[in-house]
Amino acid sequence: MYQALYRKWRPRTFDDVVGQDSVVETLKRQVVLGRLSHAYLFTGTRGTGKTTCAKIFSRAVNCESPVEGNPCNKCPSCIGIENGSILDVVEMDAASNNGINDVRALRDEAIYSPAAVRKRVYIIDEVHMLSKDAFNALLKIMEEPPEHLMFILATTELYKVPATVLSRCQRFTFKRLPPDRIAERLVHIASKEGLKLTEEAAELLARLADGSMRDGISFLDQCSSAGTITAEHVRNAIGLAGRLETERLLRSVISGNAAEALTILDRLYSEGKDVAAVLDELCALQRDILLTKIAPKGGWGLQSGGYEIRTLKELASLVTAQRLMSDIGTVQSKLSTINAGGNRKVVAELCLMQLCRVDELESSAPKPLEKEPVKKPKAKPESSPEPVPEQITASAPETAAQPIVEENKPEDKPQPIQQSAVSDRNRQGDSRTWDDILSATESRLNPIDFMVLNDPTNAEGEIQDGTVIIRAKSPFHLITLDKKEIKAAVKAVAEDLLGRTVRVVVTDAAKKAEVFEDKLDALSKFENIKFK
Task: Check whether residue 20 and residue 169 sit in a common domain.
Answer: yes
Kindly state whether residues 76 and 132 are assigned to the same domain.
yes
What is d(CA 23, CA 133) in angstroms, rounded to the nearest whole number?
31
Q: Is the pLDDT of residue 470 over 70?
A: yes
**254 and 320 both lie in a single domain:** yes
324 in any annotated domain: yes
Residues 6+ apart with CB under 8 A from 483: 449
Residue 422 counted as domain residue: no
Work out the pLDDT band at 51, boundaries 50, 70, 90.
Answer: very high
Give me the pLDDT at residue 48, please.
Answer: 92
Q: Are residues 185 and 147 in the same domain?
A: no
Q: What percent of the chain has pLDDT over 70?
A: 80
- Are residue 443 and residue 468 in the same domain, yes or no? yes
Q: Is 337 part of a structural domain of the chain? A: yes
| pLDDT above 60: residue 418 | no
The band of 526, judged by pLDDT with boundaries at 50, 70 and 90, is low
If one compares 517 and 483, the residue with the highest pLDDT of the two is 483
- Domain end (from 361, 377, 405): 361
Same domain, 197 and 125: no
Read off the pLDDT of residues 223-260 as tens digits, 9 standing for 90 and up. 888 778 888 888 777 766 567 888 899 999 999 899 99
DSSP string, 159-221: GGS-HHHHTTSEEEEEPPPPHHHHHHHHHHHHHHHT-EE-HHHHHHHHHHHTT-HHHHHHHHH
For residue 391, name the pLDDT band (cuts at 50, 70, 90).
Answer: very low
pLDDT of residue 39: 93
Listed range (88-102, 170-184, 305-319, 509-523) with the worst mean pLDDT: 509-523
Looking at residue 415, its pLDDT comes to: 46
The residue-averaged pLDDT of 445-461 equals 80
Task: Compute the average pLDDT of residues 371-390.
Answer: 47
Q: Is there a contact between 457 and 493 (Cβ–Cβ < 8 Å)? A: no
- In this prediction, residue 400 has a pLDDT band, given cuts at 50, 70 and 90, of very low
Look at residue 402 and tell me if it is in a domain.
no
Does pLDDT of 50 surpass 80?
Answer: yes
Give the pLDDT score at 412.
45
Residue 160 and residue 222 in one domain: no
* Domain limits for position 95: 5-174
Taking residues 98-121, report their average pLDDT. 88
pLDDT of amino acid 253: 92
Distance from chain centroid for Cα 83? 44
Highest mean pLDDT among 39-43, 137-141, 145-149, 422-426: 39-43
Q: Residue 394: helix, strand or coil by DSSP?
A: helix
pLDDT score recorded for residue 440: 83
Domain count, the chain: 4
What percent of the chain is modeled with pLDDT above 90? 31
**Which pLDDT score is estimated for 169?**
93
Q: 53-57, 137-141, 198-202, 439-443: which range is least confident on average? A: 439-443
**Mean pLDDT of the region 320-325:** 90
Q: Determine, yes or no, domain membership for 424.
A: no
> pLDDT for 110-129, tens place per residue?
888 888 899 999 999 999 99
Query: In which band, very low, low, confident or very high, does the pLDDT at 496 lie, cut at 50, 70 and 90?
Result: confident
**Domain C-terminal end among 124, 155, 174:** 174
Whether 495 has a pLDDT exceeding 90, the answer reads no
Q: What is the pLDDT of residue 528?
A: 65
Instruction: Report which of residues 77 and 370 the model is more confident about.
Output: 77
Identify the DSSP state of 16.
G
Q: What is the CATH number of the domain that holds 214?
A: 1.10.8.60
More confident residue, 169 or 310: 169
User: Is residue 16 located within the same domain as residue 80?
Assistant: yes
Is the residue at 414 inside a domain? no
Among 238, 258, 287, give the residue marking a domain's end.
238
Lowest mean pLDDT among 109-118, 395-404, 438-447: 395-404
**What's the chain's average pLDDT?**
80
* pLDDT score recorded for residue 407: 47
Please tell me the predicted confidence (pLDDT) of residue 417: 41
Domain annotation covers residue 227? yes
Is the same domain home to 131 and 163?
A: yes
In a domain, 476, yes or no: yes
Residues 245 and 234 in one domain: no
- Residues 280, 209 within the same domain: no
Binned at pLDDT 50, 70 and 90, residue 217 comes out as: very high
Residue 5: exposure state from Cβ atoms within 10 A (0-12, 13-18, ≥19) = buried
What are the C-alpha distances in Å from 488 to residues 75, 372, 499? 86, 18, 16
- The pLDDT, as a whole number, for residue 227 is 79
Report H helices in 431-482.
434-441, 447-454, 475-481
Query: Do 146 and 264 belong to one domain?
Result: no
Identify the weakest region by mean pLDDT among 179-193, 339-353, 498-512.
498-512
Residue 136 has pLDDT above 80, yes or no: yes
Average pLDDT of the segment spanning 161-183: 91
Which residue pairs, CB below 8 angstroms and at least 24 apart, start in 115-119? 115/87, 115/88, 116/77, 116/80, 116/86, 116/88, 117/62, 117/77, 117/80, 117/81, 117/86, 117/88, 117/89, 118/61, 118/62, 118/148, 119/36, 119/58, 119/61, 119/62, 119/88, 119/148, 119/149, 119/150
Task: Please give the angle made by the CA atoms of 319, 320 and 321, to the nearest 5 degrees.
Answer: 125
* CATH number for the domain harbouring residue 163: 3.40.50.300
Among candidates 125, 126, 48, which has minimal Cα distance to 301?
48
Which pLDDT value is given to residue 395?
39
Highest mean pLDDT among 56-60, 97-101, 193-197, 511-515: 56-60
- 3 state SS for 233-244: HHHHHHCCHHHH
- 472 bridge partner residues: 459, 508
CATH at residue 500: 3.30.300.180
pLDDT at 254: 92
pTM over 0.85: no
Contacts of 289 (CB under 8 A, 6+ apart): 250, 312, 315, 316, 319, 324
